[in-house]
Amino acid sequence: MALAAPSGGQISAGSGQITQSGSKTTINQGSQNLAVNWQSFGIASNERVNFVQPDSSAVALNRVTGQTDVAALRERASREGMKPLRISGALKVAAGVTTLEEVIKVAPPAL
């Protein structure tokens, strides 16, 4: 079986470490805000991707710059409790954690 695991991960902002061992990918986030550019990002049923974040207000932005099955990725991420960046940002604004201006700066409205 071919692995669909994330590949080509490069931290572009913040600090952290990406490790891959067999079917498990772990992203240890060392800063409150982290941005990672991935060449591809998929998760097969036998694979795991774990984000270890400093606390519940930490934010990780993942950009996929290569080809990936976006629909399958969104479905799996949703099942695992992940929210799109703008929705997550709106929830943080409502909770008083950040401002609308900051959310717009990191996740501008689609044109």
**pLDDT bracket for residue 1 (50, 70, 90):** very low
Residue-wise pLDDT for 5-33, tens only, equals: 888 999 999 999 999 998 899 999 999 99
What residue has token string 């932005």? 61
pLDDT exceeds 70 at position 2: no
Residues for the chain: how many in total?
Answer: 111
Nearest to 27 by CA among 52, 2, 10, 8: 52
pLDDT of residue 69: 73
Judge contact between 27 and 43, C-beta under 8 A: no
pLDDT exceeds 60 at position 71: yes
What average pLDDT does range 74-103 have in this prediction?
A: 86
Burial tier of 16 (Cβ tally within 10 Å: 0-12, 13-18, 19+): buried
Ramachandran angles phi, psi of 78, nearest 5°: -65, -45
Instruction: Quote the tokens at residue 78.
Output: 């949703």
pLDDT of residue 72: 77
